[in-house]
Structure formats: structure tokens, C-alpha cells
Structure 1
Amino acid sequence: MESLKSSFLHSSPFNQPPKTHKLKRPQAPSILCCLKPDPWTLSSGNPKDLNKPKPKSKHAKNPLSDDNARRIIKAKAQYLSVLRRNQGSRVQTPKWIKRTPEQMVQYLEDDRNGHLYGRHVVAAIKRVRSTSGLREGEYDMREVMSSFVAKLSFREMCVVLKEQRSWRQVRDFFAWMKLQIYAITVKLSAKCIVYTIVLRAYGQVGKIKLAEETFLEMLEAGCEPDEVAYGTMLCSYARWGRHKAMLSFYSAIQDRGIMPSAAVFNFMLSSLQKKSLHSDVIYVWRQMVDKGVAPNHFTYTVVISSFVKGGMGEEALKTFNEMKNLGFVPEESTYSLLISLRSKHGDKDEAIHLYEDMRSLGIVPSNFTCASLLALYYRTADYSKACSLFTEMERYGVIADEVIYGLLIRIYSKLGLYEDAQKTFLEIERSGQLSDEKTYTTMAQVHLNFGNFEKALDIMEQMKRNNISYSRFSYIVLLQCYIVKEDLGSAEVAYEALSRAGLPDGSSCKDMLNLYMRHGLYEKAKSFIAQIRKDRIELNEELFMTVMKVYCKEGMLREVEQLIEELRVSETFEGFPFVQTFIMTMNGQCSTLQEYENWFESLDQSGAVAVELMLTFCLATRNETKMKEKLELLLKTEIGKSVGNRMISKLAKEGDLLTTEYLYEVMMRLGCGLEDAARAAIITLYGKQKKLKQAQDVFAGVAAWATDGGVVYSSMINAYITCGGEEDAFLFYREQTKKDTSWVLLLSACL
């Protein structure tokens, strides 16, 4: 019956005697004292005994009837906890049940009392550890362990060695242990275990030299290292970044026919990748595949990343597909790298396919992934998908960072949403995320695109006030601001700062040359070109065109020939029609009119620009006999005639009378068909120069067969008026009206 009272058994549902309920008298209302409030006041008021000590908790527990009840309840709770913990695959059977009688006798002799090691082993571990507080040379391990001589088996000594926390204790105990090993018979395979423990201890603290000495000692002792020992050394090299030694050691392992495990390969790959040694990562990966070592999820993740960062995109995709075929689920970082790779190469369909595959697996994209896709949509002008991605980011809770906001500003700029771009920039500033110079320069470029250079300069000044250092690109944007502002002095200062940050780009050099030419500072432009050539700044097609404009305008024959020869030898601009036209003309590769015609027929608009520059150059160097011949040959071509007419109008507007007259006379002598616009331009120029007689001569030569007489007649009337002959202008008008009344309508349209 006593067992029935145990708390481990459920009580039987005995019939309880009926309880009698007594009528309670209504309690008199208690009067609370305001001077002694009780925080545990019940709903009926304070108890009568106000001096009663307060309970430990708000709701005091009822006192137990049995003094041992608390112990029994706790014991039962612990028992049930053990039962729950030992259910299923984690069930733990007591080791004494598994032991044979002989093992049980040995267990009792070891006096473990349920512990992992025997008492003497634990004492040995503590004895060796006690020396960690002593300095080098203050103790002798032989004296420390004198009481344990011949008391520890080989396995127990290995346990003591493994349990040490300091490499010095490992070294000293290993030296003492070797003295004990000589007294007992130990297999070489067992000795390998000891050396491996020591190698691991040295490798964990970076004592690579001691590890190497121990490994050589192991070989000299005739103990052949196994796969674990080799792997321990490889992991030690990898842990501390000794990659050259690691790869050399790995080559030596291959010669011995030992193949490390997949875990060791992973350690090596991870260490190499942390130092961006992607070529070595790929080498080790291929060795791993060739030897048939099965990679795991971590291996594929590391290798795909190295393929991408090493510029081997196709291999990365191939390995990625292999990973998926083996049933491994790629991480978001792997998808992100591949999406970024495809985006940079402009492979929009593949990038979107990877993103959709990632979303089908329930993987939430990171900011980096979204930024890569947004940059792709921005470059391909697919702004609708960019907006859809923003909506999807909000749905999945992806918080936009400064990079994504910067892309949003660029997209707004492309869509012409200037105000939205400004609002987005202000939102970044208010949120406290404005810290990257790329965001500032992006907004400054937006202001420049909309012609608001003052606000662009304000953004750059704000960036400077916030102590954000200027990069090379920032100086490029600052230079663009001053060039748009036509502030030559500030532009030169910005260009000097850009030169100190690195070699200027071709676009900035082109803009500076154009700025000098707009201000008529051709001497500065020539000095600037000389500095460009000295700094060996690479010429692109636009910069080459601008340089040639300066050379041709100034008639710098020697410089043009030198530059053309350099380009011909380097073959840098082999596929550019503009440059090829210059090279062929200057080198005389086309000597006949038909050859020129055949060449110009295959050119686009850049060919016409090249012809115009060549004509400008020939006019500037017309004193050279060979340049006169090239000029006449070019003007005889169809494209040369058209360009020549435009140049007469252009030179006349610029007020260059001598060059305009020379080109006009050459074209008249060669019988080139002069257009009415060109004749009208030279008549207007003569009028401005007060040379009415020459204007009348030009008009006399064109009046008979002019196709657009209104322009010519208008320019002649303006010439009369400019020269102060208003009456002559009126007489000229009446005279021409009598000859042909149709000119009246033409004049009315032009005046």
C-alpha cells in the first residue's frame, strides 16, 4: 500500500467523502491604514496581521504535507526529462549493459565511476595542465610526471596528450611520452595517431615550423603518415595562409598516392579563395574531380564563386548545373554571383531565368541580386521590369539600400522624371543612407543632363562638406560641371586634380580641347595636346577627331604626319572609317579620282567629317605642293564637292576671308558646282568686309543660273545695305524685278 502513495504512480479514483459547506458570515469591511500599505492586498482588503512577513511571491504556494515531496517531484521531473531525451534515434543505452563480463571487470578496475576517463587519467591531465602557469624552463616534465611512470597505458597517454590546451604542454608531454613508448611495444600505426595529435595541436596555434619538424621526425622514425596526418598538415598550412607550402606539400602527397578527404579539400579551397587565389582554387578543384573525390554543397559554393571571379563564366554555369543535378540546393550568394555575371555580359534572358529559378525555390533575393538586375534593366532600357522588381522587393521585404536608390535615380533620369529623381535623392539624405560618392555623382550627372549645372555644382560641394573624398570619377563629373558652365579657370583646376588622381580619360581630354577651341585658345589647345601625348593617354576615336581638328586648323603638317604614322603602325583604329580616311589620304594610298570615289562610297557619316577635316588641313597647308594636289583631288569627288560648299558657308560665317576666297577660286577653277547657299555666304562676307565690287562679281557669275535665287538676291541686297548703299539696294531691287517678277516672291520669303 505504501507504493500506491508514490508520486510516480497515478492515484486511484477513490470515492471521496462528501464535503460539507458551511455558511460564511459576511465579513465586516476592513479599514485600510494609509500609512502602511501592503502591495499584496487582496480583493477583500489587507489581512488583520499587518506585521506578517511577506511571501516570496505574489501567490504563495501551499506548504507541502510531506518533507520529501519536493525531492520526489524533482526526481520524477528529471526522470521524465531523461526519458524524453532518450527517445527515437537519440536513445542512449547505458554502456554497462553493452559490456561483456571481462570488460565490466576492467571497467571496475579503472575506477571510472561512470566518467569518461579513469581517475588516474584525469589526475594526469590536471598535472600536465598545472604547468601552463609556469614559464619556460621553470619545470621539468620528467619530474612532474614521475608519479605516473608505468601507470599509464599508451591509449591513456594519448588521451592526456589530446586533452592539453597549450602547445608547450603538448610538446613537453610528447617528449616525456616518447620515453615511455620506448619501454612498451607500440605498433607504428598507433604511433601515427600520436604524431597526428601533436601536428593538430601545433597547427591550431600557427606553430608551422614545429609541425614541420615533428612531421620530419615522424618520417625519420619510420612511421608512415596516413591520410589523417597528411590532411592535418594541409589544414595547418591552409589555416595560416601558407598557400605556397600547402600546394608543394599537396604535390608531395600525390607522389605518395595519398588522397585527402573532401573535408581537407574544402579547407584548402576556402583558404585559397579568401586570398583571391582563384586560379589555385580551380587547380585544386580539378585535381579533386580527377581523383574521384565527391564534392559536397560547400565545395560547389566555393568553386562556383572562384569560377565567376576568375572570369570563367561558362565553367561556372556548367558547375552550377552539375550541382543542381546532384540534388544540392544553391545558396542565394551563388545565384547572386551568376545573375551579376550574366547581367554584366548583357545576357538578359539567362539572368532572368536564374532569378526565376531562385524564386521558385523560395529563396529571398538579397540587395546585391536586386541591384544587379536593376542595373541590367537600366542598361537595356527595360524600365517597366525595373518598376516591377521594385514592387516585388517591397512585397518580399527587401529593404532598398543606397546602391538601389542610386539606380532608381538613374532610371528616373532616363524617363525624364527630373522631380522624382530629386525627391529620391532627398529621401536617401533624410534616411541617413547618403554616404557613397557614387550617389552624389549620379545626382550631379542628372542635374547636368537637364542643363542645371548650378545644382550639380551644389551637389559636389555638399559631398565635399560631408568629408567624402573625391574619386577619379568624381573629378570627371566636377570637370564636366565647369565645362558646361564655360568656367575655363575652374575647369583647368579640376583637370589638374583629375591628373593627380590618375590618367584622365579620353572624354575629359576631348571636352577640354573643345573648351579651348570655343574660347579661341588654340595655343593652349596645342600645349594641351602635347601634354596628352607626353602622358601617353590612349586616344579613342572622338579624342582623335578633336586632336585632328586642332592640328588641321593650325596647319600642323609634321604633327599630323607623325600621328598618322603612329596609328598606322599600332593598328589601333583599324576598323574606324574616320581614321582610315586620314591614313589613306595622307599616305597616298588613293592616287586617282576613281579610287577615291570607290572608297568614299563605302563610308558612313564619319567619312564626310574626315573629308571636311582633310579639306581644312589642306587649306591650312596650301603652300605645300603635295597638299594642293590632295585638295584638288578631294574637291573633284562628289563628297568633296558637297563638303566644299558647306565649308565655304562655314568659313564665311567665321569671317575667314582669305581661306574662303581661296576655296571659292579653286572650286570655280575645277568646275565644281557651287551651291547658291555658298555663293550667298561669300557675298555676305564681302559685304561685311566692305568689298562691294567683289560681291557684285560673285553675283554676276551666279544670277544667270541660280536655282535658289532668293537667297542670292537677299544676300546681295544685304551687301548693298551693309556697304551704305541703300539707294543702290533699292535700284538693284527694282532692276531685278523688271527682269523677272518671280524674284519678288523669292525675296519676300528670304527677307
Structure 2
Amino acid sequence: MNRHRLFHSWPLAVLKARDMHVQRRSTFIELLPVAEGGICNRDGDFRSVMHVLRSDENLVYCPSMEDLSFVIHQCRQKGHIADGLLLHAFMCRIGIDSHSSLGNQLVCMGVEVGYLCWAQQIFDRLVLRSDCSWDSLINAYIKHRKVDRAFILYQKMQEKDCLCPKTHTVASLVRLCGELKDYDRGLEMHVDIARLGILDQTLFVANALLDMYLSCALLDKAQEVFNNFTVKNVVMWTSLITGYVKVGLGEKAFQCYKEMQDSGYSPDTVTFICTLKACSTVGAARRGQEVHAEIERLGIFKKDVVVGNTLVDMYVKCGWLTKAREVLDEMPLRNVVSWTALITGCVDCGYNEEALQCSEEMQLEGVIPNSVTYIGCLRACGGSLDVETGTKIHGEIEQRTLFKNNLAVGCALVDMYAKCGLLSRAQDIFDKLSVRNSVLWNALITGYAECGYLNNALYLLGKMQQEGFAPDASTFISMLKACGTARDIDVGSELHAAIKKRRSLECDPFIGSSLIDMYAHCGLLSKAQEVFESLSAKDVIVWNSLMTGFLENGCDEEALICYEKMQDEEIMPDPVTFVCALKACGIMKALSKGEEIHSDIARCGNLEKDSIIGNSLVDMYAKNNSLVRAKEVFDGLLCQDTVSWNSLIAGYVQHGEGEQAIDCYEQMQMKGMFPNSGTFILGLKACSSIGAMGKGQAIHVEIERKGLLQNDILVGTAVIDMYAKHGSMLLAYEVFNCLPVRNVISWNTLLTGYTSLGECEHVIELFERMLEEGVNASWVTFVIVLNACSQMGLVKQGETYYKCMLKDYGVTPSLEHQICMIDLLGRAGYVDEAFSIVKKLPSFLDPSVWHSVLGACGRLGNSKVGNEVFRLARHIGRRDSSIYGLMSSIYVAGDISEETEMANLPKAPLDFLCFPSTFWWNDKYESFSSPLFQYTV
């Protein structure tokens, strides 16, 4: 039977053309096998049919519908869109372009090759549309994110054709609602799904609904869908766990994992991976260990590298780097993802050297770093200022051509060089990058700002805007932080003006917080408060910035007022708030207020156990001399770190409990805690306070063993001070000479030691040596040197030092220096000159000034000057009883007749003679009684 059939719908003109164009019949002789054989699977037949389609439009013999279907099938398989377009043109020419079977196939082909407009045109002309056409076109619009068209087609499919979309199409639409956070359309889809009765038929749609509700943060609805689903399996449970992880609800995800196990379902690999990610989001390392144990029990760990990588990542994100390294070492197969997770974790936790060491080990194993690995290593180099290793990594990146193709790597290189202070290299890389983004601009701008080149940073900020990149919040935050550090109020004000122009940023609480920090660092608290008041939304971060600003500028009471106002406005304090408030209480010695804040912390739950807050509580109680409470809080801490121990030791040292301080120091070492520089300094101070030189020497040995004398000048200075206070100047001098760098503080400490022992000739000698070494003397240095000159009676040398203070060293003479000069002149017998300095003082309230002059007058018996000084001292410090004793000494030294001076004095009370240091002040008559004289104003 001849299978070649003509379409019943051939136009009459085509049939008549058969007689008119007999001459073309020979053209189709070679196509007879096609006409006789119908659909064939040979490429030659495909070419033959296409030859017919390309021929003149006046056809005598036409391909059958089967032949055309075959051509469409071949075009779809081979992706020949040109042939498909030619076939469609042929169908339009002969009037069969609305044919259902061929048209639906063409729609599917157009969707497959991405010709959506063409597919839509064919679709619109079809008389009958198949389910496949509807689903194909809807899914194509979903894939290309043409959301409105996808939902319009979905509605038409149900309204006009009364067709039911396939479940995968419905699921795709639901997932699209979740991705777009389109809650309204998602609910409509749920209603349609329930109406169509397909929810209970497949897990595919149920999982999509779960994902949609979780993405829209509609947790109750998601749980409702899950609970109402009659048949649950491991996929369903895993979908719920995954959904909770995606929205950051790690606790809820882990709870689902436990419920799944309790319900008798065994987790699969995907379940374990999702649960481990849940533990990562909440930092629940202990729970992660439970999951780890289950994975080990089932033997999954050694079979699946993805599970191993997830375990490493979980421990890293929980801060358990040692455990993460153990897991990595146990993995039978480690890939670049495994190593990169560990390297990134080390960098995030501040262990930059360890991160670089891991990178070296990885490459020794033959694992080639990827771009993420290089980014982590560059961050480590920037954090540790290791420019040598950073340059080496830069060379590897250049060799692998990752630099030009990966903008993130380029940003990391710019950031690394900028943090290392090599701004020219950072600029060079920046200039070479053909593509730039805001992150890249921010990295370079921040580099210039943090290195103190604020004008360069401002120039780049302007250029960034010229090139069409709008500065974001992070740009301004970096700049404002640099302005605060540099105390550059001019540039800070310019930035504030630029922020005001961008109204979207002006109300940003992070920008507002940075502005407050900047003005507070510059000492402009009024401007900081002005910014604070202008913010429409004041969150806890903004309040914390204002509190911190008050503390930095010594306004501790205002900081506590801020804390109280926060409570009035029902702003929930965070750990930073509590730390600031406790610090203010410690400085102000406000114990009762500190106890109130302690109660507030206790009401907040587990914050009391937080190490940072716990350390602040210990410090507050210690500074308020409530050492018993400080020890109670310390003992209750879950984690007693070095800061905790230092706070307690500092409290004991500050309040004269040196033995307790040393006992704490020894307990700290016994418990395996490593002292830091601050611990050693406190330990040395404690030894000095109780004269425990032997223990001080033991601490010195430990400091030497750790190499701190060569690296930390403050520790070295503390050792010198300890020996000096014990009178061991030889040992103090030896330590001083061992210091690789000596600053003015270490020199002053040594000079003070010699002064306290009366070895003033060494003080003058060391002072001259100090100047020769180019160390700038401070005002403290001159107090020590002038005191030494006073003790040695070196008037001319002391006057020389006094005169050159301001001229040569920029030290303005203070009251302490003037007192030293008064003492120097008085000791040398220059009482008149000393008194002339006293009279020139703009305000002198310190009793030591007149004590010094009166003492000198007493030694010389100069009653004339003594009387003048006494009158002045009596007028200013009327309740200072010691001046009367000094005046008595003057009269005795001057051999003035006791009868002459006491002729007009009333007889002294008998009990006064028994206690000659006792004096009585008579406020009514403004008189002072002593056994030797009476002076009345």
C-alpha cells in the first residue's frame, strides 16, 4: 500500500499547478523513494525533503505530514533552527501553519533553542494546543525569568483549555514564587494545587511548597504543609531541614533532624550535609559532633568526600580549628575544597600564619589551589602583613592567568597590598584590571584611608563616582573610620556633607554610627550628639557608638545616662552595651550602679556566662575594690581566658593585695593558661609592691624564655621598674642595656630608680646619654632631672635645663617643674629667687610649693621671706596645718625669742602640749592656735 498521502487540506491552486508544471516532474523523480517509503531514518531522506522545501513554491508533489514531522524531529535533535524556520515558512506558504500536531512540535523546538518569541507566535496560531506546548512554553519563561508571562500562560491554560499542568511545571512555578519571595502568588498556587488534588500524589510538589514557604519566612505554613502530608519519607524530611537552613534557622533544622530520627527515618547523605550546615549557622559544634559520630557509625565519612568537606567546614565555622584539622587528616581523599575550607577558617579566626602553612601542605600533596584558595591566602598575607608570601602568591596567580579573568582575585590582591602599605602596587593592579566593581574601589580607597592618605582616598572617591560607581555604605564607613583614627575633622566634615547629599545613606544606622565614632574620636561630642539626634532609627549599634564616644572622652557619667535612656526607650542592650556600662562603673567607682547592671545582665539569660561580659564584670568589681565579688564572678565563668585572669590580678595589684595577685598568677600557669605581656607586667608590679624580688626574678626568667624583652618594650620597662623598686640598680641597668629599642618611658624608669636611691650623678649622666641617642625628653624626664639637680645643689645646671625645656624640646614648663626649681633654689639658699617664682605663678594651690619655700627659709632662718610665704599660704590653704609647724621651724632657726613671739599668744591647752602635732582651727575668729604663736587674718 502506498503510504504517501497528500494533506486533505491542500489548496486548489496547488492541485491545478500540477498540470501547469509538468516539466518540473522530473525534479521529484529522485524523491520517489521518499514518497513511497514515508518516514525514513536516513540522512539522505532528510536532505531530500529539505531540498523540496527549498524548491519553487509551485509544487506538484509535496511531502506528507509524516515527512514534515520527521524533519521537525531531526531539526530538534540536531538543533538546526535555520531548517526549522524554513519548514515553518513552508507551512505558512501552503496554509498549514496552524496544524496542531506539527505546530506543537515547532513550539517545543523553539523553546529548546531559546526562540521564545517565535515559539509564542506559533503557539498563538494553533487551533489545538497540547499539554507539552503549554508546559514547554511556561517552563521556558520560568527559565528566562519572564515571570509575568509564565503566570499569564498558566492562568490561560486553566481558563481556556481546562488543562491541568504537569506536576513539574507546577513545582517550578511554586519554586519561582519562593525565589522571588512572592507570597501572594505562592498562596494562589497552593490553592490551585489543593483544588487539582496533586499535593498528595507526589513529593515533588510538596517539597516545592515547603521551599516556597520557608523562603518567604512563613514557617508556620511550611510546617502545616509538612504535617498535612500523609506520606513522609527521607526526602520530605530533608527538604524541611534544608529549608530551615536556607533561612538561617539552624536550631529548628537540627530539631527536625532529631524528630526525623525519632520517627524511624534513616538520614541519607544529603540529610547529613544539611544538618551539618545547620550546626554551622548556629555554631553548635557539640551537636555537630553528634552528627559526626553518626556519620562515622554508618561508614559514610570514608566514602563521600563531600560529607568530609562539610564536616571540615562545620568545625571551622564553629571555631574548632583543631578538630577541623583532625577531620581533614583522617579523610582518605582530600581535594581543594577540603583544604580551602580549613584555610578560610583559619583566616576568619585570625590564624593567618597557620592558614599559609596549610596552603603549603596542600600544594605538597599535589592539590592545585583554586581562586577561592588564593583569595583566602591573600587575606592571610594582608592580615599578617606578610608581603613576601603575598608577592609569591601574586606570581602564581599571574602564571595561571587568574588575575585578568577573576575580579574577586584582583580585589583580594589590591586589598592585600593596601593592607601591607604597598599602595603603589595596589594601584598598579587596580589600573590593570579592565573590569571594576564597587568592592575593588572600596579596597583601594580603604587602603589609602587606613594608611593616612586621606586626600588620595578622597580623590579616588570622586573618581569612583565619575566612572559611574556610586559609593556604598562600606565606602563611607571605611573613610569615616580612617578620619576618626587620624583625628582629621576637615575630611570627616567633607564626608558628612557628601553623605547628607545622598539621603538614602543619611538615615543608615551604620553610617550614623560611623559618623558618631568619627566625631567622638575627634573630641567633638556635641557634633556626635547632633548626628545621634538626627537619626530617625536609633538601634543598639548607634547607642553603643555614643556610649563609647563618651567613654573615650572621659564622660563616664554621660555614658551611664545613655544606658539608662536606652532602657527607657526599650532598646535591648547587647554585650557591647553592657561592657561600656560596666567600664564606666569601674572608672567612676560606682559599685551600686555596677551591681544594678549585673542584675540586668543576669535577667538576659546566659549573657553572664559570656567571656567578654564576664571579664568586664570581674574588672568592674576589681576596680571598685569588691574583690570577693570579682572572684565569685570569675569562678562562675565557663571560659576563664587570659583577659579574665588579668582583670582579677589587676584588681589585687591595684588595691595592694600583692600576695593574692602573685597567687593568681601561679594558679593561672598551673591551669595551663599562657600569660601575655599584660600578665607579666601585673606580676612584676605585684612583686614590687610586696618586695618579692625572688618571684620577680622568676617572672624575669620566664619573660626571657619567651623572648619578650626583645619584642615588647613595655615588658622590658616593667622588669627595670621591678628591679629599681627593689634597689637593685645594677640588674635594672643590665636589663636596660639588653633592650633592642629604648623609648622615653624606659629611660624615665631607670632615671627614677637612681633618683629614689639618691644616686643623682648617674641621673645627670644617663640624661646626657639619652639626649645623645636622640630620644626626646618628656615633661616627666625634666621633673626627674630637676629633682636630681636639686638634691645635688646644681643650680646653674638646673637653670640651664629649665630654660631649654621649651626652646629645645618643646616641653612647656608645668607646675611640677616650677616646684622643682623652687626647691632647687631654696635648697641652694636662693630664697628670694625661689619666692619670686612663687609670686609669678598664675595659680598655685599645691601645698608642696609653699612647703618647699618655707622649708628653705627654715634652713636659712629667713623669717622675712618666711612670713610673706606664710601669709600667702595661710590665705589660700587655711586648713593646711603643716605650714604652722614649718613657720615655727623658721623662728627657731632664726633664733627669734620665744617670749617675743608668744607674748600675745593665749596659753595653750594642756592636752595640746601632750600632742604637739595637734592644732585647732577657730572658724568664728579665723584664728589658729599653736603652742608657739597665734596668727590672725
How high is the TM-score relative to the length of structure 1? 0.49
Which protein has the larger Cα radius of gyration, Structure 1 or Structure 2?
1
Larger RCO, structure (CA 8 Å, separation 6 or more): 1
Whichever structure has more helix as a proportion of its residues is 2
